Amino acid sequence: MTKPVPTRERILQHGLALMSQSGLTGVTLGLLADQVGMSKSGLFAHFHSKEEVQIGLLRHMAQFANSRVVQPAMRAEPGLPRLKALVKNWFGWAQRAGLPGGCPVAAGLFEFDDVEGAVRNEILTMESEWRALLKQLVQQAIHRGHLSQRLDVDQFVWELCGIYLSHHAAHRFLRAKDADTRANIAFQALIERAMPAPRKRKAAKRPNKTDRR
């Protein structure tokens, strides 16, 4: 027999899809209770405030994304292959995972950019940890000689995150059909600029005059 899903887990599963489409601010206790098919008071037994629901959904989303984006990429060879695998999984991950509204964290960066509080702090922590992971993978690629030793890692990660956010805006707001293609072209260009400089071939040694006969 299939093991029943715990109520809290069921709430988070329904809330994740709702958050993807309506944003964090659009997830209300009443709406979520209707989605799950329970009373608002019953929902309060698991989450005591809208803020607690939002933080719970963000943490649930992190686990959800980790199993689809990070874990599969970690099976790739360390260095540039692993970085490329992660980015391939990352771009458009929400749509492939059945979240038609896109990445909730990408949306949350704008929803809570000037709203102080625990939810903003949670998003900030998640974004900081993600950028730290990207930085770690870039540094591994440098260490293995896949990327230039002179590469500005912080700038590389900054531009990479910019590509992701541009992809998010193009896909969600502009509904551009070429969003995936353009994001991949931009990432490839970023990689090419970060590659080690080609080694100059040593000039053929010319014979000395004394060697001529």
pLDDT for residue 204: 47
Query: Under a CB-based contact definition with an 8 Å cutoff, are residues 95 and 69 in contact?
Result: no
User: What are 127's two structure tokens?
Assistant: 């974004």
User: What are 116's two structure tokens?
Assistant: 């102080």
Query: Under a CB-based contact definition with an 8 Å cutoff, are residues 101 and 22 in contact?
Result: yes
d(CA 117, CA 132): 23
Residues of the chain with pLDDT under 70: 1-5, 199-213
User: What are 153's two structure tokens?
Assistant: 């890692």
User: What are 141's two structure tokens?
Assistant: 């690629």
d(CA 68, CA 96): 9
User: What are 125's two structure tokens?
Assistant: 């922590």
Query: Under a CB-based contact definition with an 8 Å cutoff, are residues 139 and 153 in contact?
Result: yes
- The SS3 call for residue 38 is coil
pTM for this structure? 0.87
d(CA 147, CA 123): 30
Candidates 3.40.50.620, 3.90.950.20, 1.10.357.10, 3.40.50.360; CATH matching 61-194: 1.10.357.10
- The SS3 call for residue 98 is coil
pLDDT for residue 203: 45
pLDDT for residue 123: 96
Closest residue by Cα to residue 93 from 53, 130, 52, 138: 130
